[in-house]
Amino acid sequence: MDGFGVVPLGIPGTPAPFTLHVPQPELNKLSVLIETAVVAAPSFYNTHSASDNPDHTFGAPRDWLANATGVWAGDFDWRAREAHWNTIPQFKMDVTAPSDGQVFDLHFAALFSRRADAVPVILSHGWPSSWFDCVAILELLAAKYTPDTLPYHVVAPSIPDYGLSTRSNATTTELNFYSAAEALNELMKGLGFNAYVAQGGDVGSGLTAALGAVHDECKAVHFNNFILTPSEKAAVANLPVSPAENATLVSAQEFTDSGTGYMLEQGTRPGLISLVLMSNPVAMLEWIGSMYTDGVNGAPLATILEQVSWYWHTKSYGSGLWAYRAVWAPFLRDTHSERLPSPLAIKAKPIGYSWYPREVLAAAQSWVEHWFPDNLVFFKAHEAGGHLAALEQPVAFLQDLEDFVAIVKTKIEL
């Protein structure tokens, strides 16, 4: 990563290099809590899962939790992972939101290019993810290019109120997609990028939709899923879909019908669930781990432990629930659509979409072509992958992103 952490000269902001280090007493405290945690007694519901019956989407089963807890207490090495992540240039920088004067202290990883024509790109992660989802992308780029040849400036933030990205009014004002996107736009401007490309999935999809719809500096957007209201999807329900797309849409509807209880809880009782889970790391492990074991996202246990540890050490599980406060009613009840930025509002900027067969926020190619008849410049269907595409399929994901940026450069000035 030598040379990729050199910030462009003459920028308005003042990013400070950052090294991740959790104090040892905090690691010791977590170890004690894990080792003394109680795994509940067996019952029908905690000994069955979707792996033995599609109707048993009850959560990660008891045996999984017991094993994961043992690995977390024993073989999991946070310090080794810190050392790995710290090979990637990281920074913190304050930005002020023009709308209300709120100050955001944003954490981000970045690869900076020395090329004058490098295209700035911001990658926004989702939940229960973090900037860790982008690590493989950044490493692939660093292996493929040098600072002199890298065609992009790539910024991968901890999105506002997640991880180490905090703000001045955290206990007095509620965040939403529009104010969080405003902070990310100010981050890009502070880095000297007044024209950039945005990419996002999951919560990052909503942020990318807001960036593309509201902020002139965002010139093009790429998605790997859309967060849409039932009405938006119903309007295209009669368009033709391929057999593969139909299978994905059926699976996505099953997820909506039986797998979104967590969304309702996080959206309607965020204080309750955050206080419960932030008092017990093993409870948080079960809650977040269930998002992976029920098939929504694909990830090995090591990755799940990394993500849960990150939420625990940064104390950010509760603050990150603003996204579900905004999403649950539009997505599940088709009400309060104004809370959810719609990608369909982006009519004049180039749009790209990558389709993955295990996506739970699924769309068909005919839908995307219908929504964006004049500005869809890239669509790619993949044979493998799901909701967390950057994490699951980093090589294919990066290729799509590079192909999209190459097309965009021929259409607009960046």
DSSP assignment letter at 40: P
User: Residue 292 has what pLDDT?
Assistant: 85
Q: Which of 178, 294, 387, 400 is catalytic?
A: 387
228 domain-assigned: yes
pLDDT per residue, tens digit, the chain (414 aa), is: 889 999 999 999 999 999 999 999 999 999 999 999 999 999 999 999 878 888 888 889 999 999 999 999 999 999 999 999 999 999 999 999 999 999 999 999 999 999 999 999 999 999 999 999 999 999 999 999 999 999 999 999 999 999 999 999 999 999 999 999 999 999 999 999 999 999 999 999 999 999 999 999 999 999 999 999 999 999 999 999 999 999 999 999 989 998 899 999 999 999 999 999 999 999 999 999 998 876 555 688 999 999 999 999 999 999 999 999 999 999 999 999 999 999 999 999 999 999 999 999 999 999 999 999 999 999 999 999 999 999 999 999 999 999 999 999 999 888
Q: Residue 146: inside a domain, yes or no? A: yes
Cβ neighbours of 393 (radius 10 Å):
22
Q: In the numeric block, which tokens belong to residue 61? A: 């089963």
Q: Is 150 within the bounds of a domain?
A: yes
Exposure string over 181-200, b if 16+ CB within 10 A, otherwise e: bbbbbbbbbbbebeebbbbb
Q: Would you state the pLDDT for residue 297?
A: 56
- The CA distance from 18 to 164, in Å, is 11
pLDDT at 25: 97
Show the domain range for 237.
86-252+331-409
Which of 390, 391, 310 minimizes the C-alpha distance to 72? 310
What distance in Å separates the CA atoms of residue 285 and residue 309, rounded to the nearest whole number?
Answer: 9
**CATH number reported for the structural domain that contains residue 241 in this entry:** 3.40.50.1820
Tell me, yes or no, whether 300 lies in a domain.
Answer: no
170 three-class SS: coil
Q: Cβ(89)–Cβ(19) under 8 Å?
A: no
Determine the Cα–Cα distance for residues 139 and 1; give it in Å rounded to an integer.
8
- DSSP state for residue 385 in the 8-state scheme: -
CA–CA distance from 377 to each of 9, 197, 279, 345, 414 (Å)?
Answer: 33, 14, 47, 16, 16
| 158, 137 contact by CB (below 8 A) | no
Q: DSSP string spanning 283-296?
A: HHHHHHHHHHHTSS
Q: What is the pTM of this model?
A: 0.96
Domain membership flag for residue 176: yes
Q: Which of 226, 222, 6, 20 is nearest to 114 (CA)?
A: 6
Residue 16 covered by a domain: no
Active site (annotated) includes residue 152 = no
Residue 290's CB is within 10 A of a number of other CB atoms, namely: 24
Backbone torsions φ then ψ of 95, nearest 5 degrees:
-135, 150
Closest CA to 308 of 332, 333, 270, 280: 280
The count of residues in the chain is: 414
385 Rama class: left (phi>0) / alpha (psi -120 to 50) / beta: left
Q: Which of 162, 178, 311, 324 is catalytic?
A: 324
Per annotation, catalytic residue among 133, 161, 202, 400: 202
CA angle, 208 as apex, 137 and 20 as ends, to 5°?
A: 45
Structure tokens belonging to residue 75: 């073989």
For residue 101, give Cα distances in angstroms to 97, 146, 193, 214, 361.
Answer: 5, 38, 21, 18, 34
Per the annotation, the verdict on 45 as an active-site residue is: no
- What is d(CA 18, CA 91) in angstroms, rounded to the nearest whole number? 5
Residue bearing tokens 């699976």: 251
Q: In the prediction, which pLDDT does 296 show? A: 52
Other C-beta atoms within 10 Å of 250: how many?
11
Q: What is the pLDDT of residue 54?
A: 80
Told to judge if 382 belongs to the known catalytic residues of this protein, a careful annotator would answer no
Residue 274 domain-assigned? no
Q: How many domains does the chain have?
A: 1
In a domain, 359, yes or no: yes
